[in-house]
Chains A and B, each alone.
Chain A
Amino acid sequence: MISTQLLYALAGVGLFAIGLRATLLHHLLLPRLLALNVCGAGVFLIFIAIAYAGIEGMPDPVPHALVLTGIVVAVSATAMALALGRRLENIKSDAIKSEATKSETLKSAAVKPEAMNDE
């Protein structure tokens, strides 16, 4: 039983490490988010490995409850991060557009970048 727990706990550690390495290496938001989710899955796995009590035994329900809330929080945090990322992309593409218009008509572009700085 301890070997099963150890196996899954070490797998959790491995998952966390893989996710952490990728989070640090990537620049783009989406791969980073995926990597962070992998990281989180590793932490969940460590929790559940510790809660495990053998084929016959009843596992500890407290870590199960914690991880359950963790899964739901992780998905809402991912949705939030994606919304933030969309915002950034929109600002970037707006900025490119306003750069383009600036070179053509000077006046109309002057307002937009300022509004962007405030956000």
Chain B
Amino acid sequence: MIDSLAVLAVFFGLFFFLSGSIGLLRLPDVFSRLHALAKADNIGLAFVALGVILLEPGLLNDIKVVIIWLLVMAASAVSSHLVARRALRKERDDD
């Protein structure tokens, strides 16, 4: 029961990953691409992490997975901001 729930969560996360990477490929400029990427980063990984927590019996490992997810959230926010700002600065320089 828990296994199937976990698999469901993982596959739900996969959907976000796939749509994120398709967005990365199809969207027209850097900023909208970064926006698509953030979906994959935050929601996709959140569901995969949820599935993994359901499957992983060790409490310490569960805590680690939660920490990983929080870190990826923070890291992706900061990284997207930095990358977008660099792109914006370059765009301004070109004009």
Q: Do chains A and B touch in the complex (CB under 8 A)?
A: no
Binding site for A on B (CB under 8 A): none
Binding site for B on A (CB under 8 A): none
